[in-house]
Amino acid sequence: MTDRPNPQPRAPQPRVLVVDDAVTVRAYTRQVLESDGFRVDEAVNGIDGLEHALSSTPDLLIVDINMQKMDGYTMLRRLRQEHTLRDVPAIMISTESKDSDREKALLAGANWYFVKPVRPADLTAAARLLTGREARS
Amino acid sequence: MSALFEQFVLESRELLEAAGAALLRLERDPADKAAVNDLFRALHTLKGATGLFDMAPFTRMVHAGEDALMAVRDGRAAMTGDLADRLLELLDTSAAWVDGLELSQSLPDDADARARAQEVGLRAALGGPAEAADGGTPAGFAWVDELPEADRAKAAGRTVTAIAYDPAEDCFFAGDDPLDLCRRIPDLLLLRIESAGAWPPLTDLDPYRCALRFRALSGAPKDELTRLFRGVPDQVALATVAIPSPTAETAPPAAPASLAPASLATALLREQARILGLPGSDEETASRRAAVLRAARNILAAEGRNTEGAALDRAAEGPTPALIRCLESLADGPAAATPAIPAGPARRGLRVDAERMDRLMALVAELVVAKGSLPYLAREAQEGRSADALAQGIKEAHGRIDSIVGDLQDAVLRLRLLPLSRVFDPLPRLVRDTARRLGKPVELHLSGGETEADKDILDILGEPLLHLVRNALDHGVEPPERRRAAGKPEVAAIRVQAFQDSGGVVVEVSDDGAGIDAEAVRRKAVAAGALTAEQAAALTESEALRLIFLPGLSTSATVSDLSGRGVGMDAVRGAVEQAGGRVEVASTPGVGTRFRLVLPLTMMVTRLVTVETAGALYGFPVTLVTGMQRVPHGAIRRMKHAESVVVQDAVVPLLRLRRLLNLPEDERERRGEAVLLVDLGGQPVALVVDAFRERAEVVLKPMTGLLARLRGYAGTAVLGDGRLLLALNLRELL
């Protein structure tokens, strides 16, 4: 990759990597986050997500669980082994609402778990908190 | 149509196509696992997409398909032709709905009913001749499926008895009281009273005829209800039905109402604390810890709680239980966060005794005078004075400066010394309140409050001390009846005493309670998987007692809300060891328990036992070293790769420092081994080093930069002769 963007001394907009195999969900998440001033990157499965994360080191990960090729759990586990990515805050989002699913997500390395569908206000509030952006007044 | 909705329509069509293809593959080969997975995933993704919009019936229907496939995937159901038909029908309905959505952006009016029909059909196809309790609804009880979600919610996830009671019109004349009968239904979850038919005009309504029917759900078994309704068997129908749990999508409010950012922050912080307690390998817990710390720092920053960030940073340097507690108290909100862990700025202030300050000033003045002799010596050297005379002069100057610097060090240390009464002060109140709550009369005896210790030590001592006293009250002291029965005075005694000894400050917490049952501790440790039954049996009484310092083991069989908050004696040990001290425990069943915390006087100057190994100097805190001895080769026993040695009648594992540090083996010719005996929180270890060296008082500098990540090193220090010394953290090395 030769044409990386110029490193900015202090990125004013936190960068969020959204990993989900559903186009609609990605588009929805992007719309919600961008309208709140985040920069959004997309990846379509776990492997793609890992590659994106490794090359761009996002400020926050939003990861779906059930995906082709590599699921969200595996992706997070791998990612947590990378020195540069082990502490990037991560939110897992899935349609499963059982406690055991939440537990599995946290065990894999997530910091938070949302059950789909997530209200836009909840998503942006969590993203702001986890990236250290000041909450809206 | 919004771009998002357009996207949805496009994606849904693709997913339905993919699902259709997978289903066809599956029909050809019902054992095709990949096809089941593809179909499942397509439906799963579709369900997620529908969830973004207000189309609950669509979500529900797809969810039912997903459930059916999960049953097939898990081997709970077979892929039958009937099931395939149902699934195809579901895909067709979905496709039609997507077309409709594209045109009118809404689902057809009958969407809800059709979704239910699909659900019921799929369930029937799954269960074959559906056993009622398996989910299919028996004939005549369709009303159960049609109950509004809110009504079903009361019985969600349960197998219940459905009651359809249609009283005969003339039942009143037979002496029946239908409403009273229904009132007597045990565990009544739902009762609906409906008109038996269309209401007649009011003038035609006959109050002596029953025009009502009753529909009810009860948690009681069918047999019991059959008995209740035995008087009207011809008018009642009973069936056992399973009411499915509402899925997230079908439950009326799918997600809880949006949380206010403040409570979301609380929930997030609490979750971070919980994550730290999750099991996992060292590597996993280390990376979780890193992720948790960053998340927590960010949350505090986002909330503008910057001062509390300092408290977090401090806790982050400590053991995990302390960090968990810090996060929990941070989750409790900005106000409550401070008392648990004093924040940075508050700690910096230090009230200094004027007399001690004066002494410091006097010493500095002396030093200035002593310094004056050095230029004089330099001039004499230039003028060619004899080397002997110069050496004499330098020695004298050094002697004077050395003694002043020693005094200075002592004076500075004294500035930081505070009486232990500071940490004793909260104890009387704590004991009084807790004793009252537990109904155990207790007298607290405090002594040695005037003993002084470094401020940092006091800061660390506070929590463990509270914990030990609470523990003594909660688990140590017996209830008054039992004390009376045992012939003990009813009022228990808890003693907290502090005194100075050669190594530093000692604080003892003792009670005259029941003592710790070493056998019970062994059993618990085995049950918790900390060691095998054989290992446990081989432990001496005092070794068994030390097991309480392992994470997750407590001194009591029952965890009370008082002291059993998941952090136990291991937190006490962690805090004390962090300060360079150690914890001892002694207990006699029926007589009492004594905990002894041995702490260094100060954390600024660390007293180390130094040893040489492979040409380098290493140091261990004096508080951990229990002895040094030469051991002849013959006294070392070997078991496979493990070595051990007998010290004071106990078998102690023998480790070699060179191996721990990955250094080459010692090839020198030698008669025996130099062995350092170290107490690792109750676990004695013999450590082979090349040679013993002198004790040293050093100012430890923590490792910085890249080296800070190295495990096993506590810091570096420069000795008087300029040599560098590495202080080791044995626990981490092992």
Contact B727, B606 (CB under 8 A): yes
Q: Is residue A91 part of a domain?
A: yes
d(C-alpha B319, C-alpha B551), whole Å = 11
Report the residue from B255, B275, B290 with minimal CB separation from A106.
B275
Asked if B294's CB is within 8 angstroms of A97's CB, the reply is no
Q: Is the pLDDT of residue A77 over 90?
A: yes
Q: Name the minimum distance, in Å, from the CA of B589 to any CA of chain A.
A: 41
Residues in chain B with CB shorter than 8 Å from the CB of A129 are 261, 264-265, 268, 298-299, 302-303
Task: At A21, list the tokens.
Answer: 């195999």
The amino acid that residue B718 corresponds to is V
Task: At B1, list the tokens.
Answer: 């149509």
Q: Is residue A121 part of a domain?
A: yes
Mean pLDDT by 10 residues, chain B (734 residues): 79 88 82 86 86 85 88 82 86 91 86 87 69 52 77 75 88 83 85 82 80 87 84 84 59 42 81 89 88 92 81 83 86 51 40 75 85 85 86 88 83 79 82 82 89 81 86 87 91 91 83 88 82 86 83 51 50 79 87 89 76 90 86 86 85 90 85 88 86 81 69 78 82 78
Q: Is residue A46 part of a domain?
A: yes
Q: Name the minimum distance, in Å, from the CA of A114 to any CA of chain B.
A: 9
Task: Identify the DSSP state of A28.
Answer: H
Element (H, E) at B497: strand B492-501
Asked if B292's CB is within 8 angstroms of A111's CB, the reply is yes
Residues within 8 A of B (CB atoms), A 65-94 only? 66, 68, 80-81, 86-90
Task: At B68, list the tokens.
Answer: 């059916």
Report the residue from B12, B49, B287 with minimal CB separation from A80.
B287
Q: Report whether CATH 3.30.360.10 matches the domain B3-129.
A: no
Nearest to B130 by CA among B243, B218, B226, B241: B241
What's the pLDDT at B427? Answer: 86
In this structure, is the dihedral angle defined by the CA atoms of residues A50, A53, A59 and A63, taken in order, positive or negative?
Answer: negative
Q: How far is CA B722 from the centre of its chain?
A: 45
What's the pLDDT at B348? Answer: 43
Superfamily of domain B419-516+555-600: Histidine kinase-like ATPase, C-terminal domain (3.30.565.10)
Residues in chain A with CB shorter than 8 Å from the CB of B303 are 129, 135
* Interface check A15 vs B, CB under 8 A: no
Q: Name the minimum distance, in Å, from the CA of B322 to any CA of chain A.
A: 19
Of residues A114 and A119, the one with the higher pLDDT is A114
Report the residue from B11, B52, B272 with minimal CB separation from A117.
B52
Asked if A131's CB is within 8 angstroms of B287's CB, the reply is no
Residues within 8 A of B (CB atoms), A 43-62 only? none
Superfamily of domain B605-733: CheA-289, Domain 4 (2.40.50.180)
Helices (H), B439-559: 455-471, 480-485, 518-527, 533-538, 541-546
The amino acid that residue B260 corresponds to is A
Looking at residues A6-29, what average pLDDT do you find? 77
d(C-alpha B723, C-alpha B581), whole Å = 26
Asked if B299's CB is within 8 angstroms of A129's CB, the reply is yes
Q: In the sheet where B625-632 sits, what is the strand order?
A: B625-632, B672-680, B683-689, B650-656, B642-647, B636-639
Asked if A87's CB is within 8 angstroms of B290's CB, the reply is yes
Asked if A25's CB is within 8 angstroms of B49's CB, the reply is yes
Residues in chain B with CB shorter than 8 Å from the CB of A23 are 7, 10-11
d(C-alpha A37, C-alpha A30), whole Å = 10
| Per-domain residue ranges of chain B | 3-129, 142-242, 261-348, 354-415, 419-516+555-600, 605-733
d(C-alpha B208, C-alpha B170), whole Å = 7
What's the pLDDT at B233? Answer: 82
Q: Name the minimum distance, in Å, from the CA of B272 to any CA of chain A.
A: 7
Of residues B558 and A50, the one with the higher pLDDT is A50
What's the pLDDT at A9? Answer: 38
Q: Name the minimum distance, in Å, from the CA of A88 to any CA of chain B.
A: 6
Q: Name the minimum distance, in Å, from the CA of B301 to any CA of chain A.
A: 5
How would you class B187 by CB atoms within 10 Å of its CB: exposed for 0-12, middle for 13-18, buried for 19 or more?
Answer: middle
d(C-alpha B656, C-alpha B650), whole Å = 19
Report the residue from B248, B254, B299 with minimal CB separation from A130.
B299
Q: Name the minimum distance, in Å, from the CA of B708 to any CA of chain A.
A: 15
Contact B30, B6 (CB under 8 A): no
d(C-alpha B725, C-alpha B713), whole Å = 11
pTM for this prediction: 0.39
Task: Identify the DSSP state of A24.
Answer: H
Asked if B259's CB is within 8 angstroms of A89's CB, the reply is no
Asked if B302's CB is within 8 angstroms of A95's CB, the reply is no
Of residues B479 and A68, the one with the higher pLDDT is B479
What's the pLDDT at A38? Answer: 92
Q: Name the minimum distance, in Å, from the CA of A108 to any CA of chain B.
A: 9
Q: How many CB pairs under 8 A join A and B?
A: 136
* Interface check B50 vs A, CB under 8 A: no
Q: Is residue A36 part of a domain?
A: yes
How would you class B557 by CB atoms within 10 Å of its CB: exposed for 0-12, middle for 13-18, buried for 19 or more?
Answer: exposed
d(C-alpha B708, C-alpha B706), whole Å = 5
- In this predicted model, what pLDDT tens digit does every residue of B333-377 receive, in sequence order? 664 333 333 333 333 455 667 777 788 888 888 888 888 888 888
What's the pLDDT at B339? Answer: 35
Range of the domain at A82: 15-129
* Percentages (nearest 5) of helix, strand, coil residues in chain A: 40, 20, 45
Asked if A86's CB is within 8 angstroms of B287's CB, the reply is yes
Q: Answer whether the bond into residue B479 is a cis peptide, omega within 30°.
A: no
Asked if B261's CB is within 8 angstroms of A117's CB, the reply is no
d(C-alpha A99, C-alpha A126), whole Å = 19
Q: What are residue B13's phi and psi, to 5 degrees?
A: -65, -45
Cα–Cα distances (Å) from B695 to B347, B606, B610, in that order, read 32, 10, 6
Give chain A's largest Cα–Cα span: 44
Task: Identify the DSSP state of B55.
Answer: -
* Interface check B502 vs A, CB under 8 A: no
Q: Topology of B142-242 in CATH? A: Alpha-Beta Plaits (3.30.70)
> pLDDT grade, residue A105 (50/70/90)?
very high
Nearest to B41 by CA among B60, B65, B10, B61: B65
* Interface check A128 vs B, CB under 8 A: yes
At A31 the three-state DSSP class reads helix
What is the DSSP track for B362-378? HHHHHHHHHHTHHHHHH
What's the pLDDT at B291? Answer: 92
* Interface check A63 vs B, CB under 8 A: no
Interface test with A, best of B299, B306, B312 (most A CBs within 10 A): B299
Cα–Cα distances (Å) from B299 to A103, B126, B145, B610, in that order, read 21, 47, 45, 44
Residues within 8 A of A (CB atoms), B 533-592 only? none
Asked if A64's CB is within 8 angstroms of B51's CB, the reply is no
In this structure, is the dihedral angle defined by the CA atoms of residues B641, B645, B649 and B650, taken in order, positive or negative?
Answer: negative
Residues within 8 A of A (CB atoms), B 209-248 only? 247-248
Could you give the number of structural domains in chain A? 1
Residues in chain B with CB shorter than 8 Å from the CB of A22 are 11, 45, 48-49
Task: At B472, list the tokens.
Answer: 């003594």
How would you class B52 by CB atoms within 10 Å of its CB: exposed for 0-12, middle for 13-18, buried for 19 or more?
Answer: buried
d(C-alpha B717, C-alpha B726), whole Å = 7
Q: Which of A80-89, A127-136, B648-657 has the lowest mean pLDDT?
A: A127-136
* Interface check A21 vs B, CB under 8 A: yes
Residues whose CB is less than 8 angstroms from the CB of residue B441 and which lie 6 or more positions away in sequence, other chains included: B435, B480, B490, B491, B492
- In this predicted model, what pLDDT tens digit does every residue of B64-90 receive, in sequence order? 898 888 888 887 888 887 888 889 889
Asked if B255's CB is within 8 angstroms of A115's CB, the reply is yes
Q: Is residue A32 part of a domain?
A: yes
Dihedral through CA B307, CA B313, CA B316, CA B321, nearest 10?
Answer: -20
CATH for A125? 3.40.50.2300
Interface test with A, best of B288, B293, B308 (most A CBs within 10 A): B288
What's the pLDDT at B252? Answer: 34
* Interface check A116 vs B, CB under 8 A: yes
Q: Name the minimum distance, in Å, from the CA of B299 to any CA of chain A.
A: 5
Nearest to B15 by CA among B79, B95, B133: B95
What's the pLDDT at B336? Answer: 37
